[in-house]
Amino acid sequence: MSEQHYHQIVREISGKLREFNQEIPDTAQAFGALTKATHTDGAISKKHKELMAMAIAIAARCQGCLGFHAQACVKLGVTRAEFLETLQVAVYMGGGPSMMTAAEAMLAYEEYGGEVAAK
List the domain boundaries for the chain.
Answer: 5-111
Task: Please give the CATH architecture assigned to the domain spanning 5-111.
Answer: Up-down Bundle (1.20)
Task: Give 55's contacts (C-beta < 8 A, 6+ positions apart).
Answer: 86, 87, 89, 90, 93
pLDDT, tens only, 24-68: 999 999 999 999 999 999 999 999 999 999 999 999 999 999 999
Written as one string, the DSSP assignment of 62-93 is -HHHHHHHHHHHHHTT--HHHHHHHHHHHHHH
pTM (two decimals)? 0.88
Closest CA to 39 of 63, 68, 80, 62: 68
Instruction: Report the percentage of the chain scoring pLDDT > 90.
Output: 92
Provide the pLDDT confidence category of residue 1 given band limits of 50, 70 and 90. Answer: low
